[in-house]
Amino acid sequence: MPKTKNDLPVKIRTAVAEVLQARLVDAIDLQTQLKQAHWNIKGPHFIGLHELFDKINEAVEDYVDDIAERAVQLGSIVHGTARAVAKGSSLKEYPLDIVADHEHVNCVSDALAAFGKNVRESIDKTDKLGDKDTADLFTEISRGTDKWLWFVEAHLPVKD
């Protein structure tokens, strides 16, 4: 790990950087899934969902940058190439053959829910490791992800 004057011990920084790397590749994968939905959606709710998926993508782009920059602040080198993402993402593969708006709503909500779960687990991991700053970053991302999940799930059929 490259040298830094950050006072967190190397052991903690190394462990936290591993968590950050895992969430980084998930976030980049989530971004690409959102763009897949944004580009290919068809149906009566096209414009609203097309725009919503793009707004979520913009927020996730900020998450990607924040996660990567935090890892580098800790002295790590991040891996954000397409190959690194494909190899490391824990998110389920997004179907490439769907177009119907309701199918994209289901798949995007699944991806957001899985990402949110992983981020919440990362809050606990980094807090237990002793890096409250990274735990706080993940808390902020978790709140945002929950909001976007709520927005997408509002397009699912209401069941009594």
Domains in the chain, start-ordered, CATH in brackets?
10-153 (1.20.1260.10)
Q: Which amino acid is at 73?
A: Q
- Return mean pLDDT, the chain: 96
Q: Cα Rg for the chain, rounded, in angstroms?
A: 17
Judge contact between 86 and 105, C-beta under 8 A. no
Task: Output the six-digit token pair for 59.
Answer: 């927020």
- Give the separation between CA 135 and CA 139, rounded to whole angstroms: 6
pTM of the predicted protein model: 0.96
Q: What is the mean pLDDT of residues 124-131?
A: 98
Q: Give per-residue pLDDT as tens, 26-39.
A: 999 999 999 999 99
Q: Is 41 helix (H, G, I), strand (E, B) or coil?
A: coil
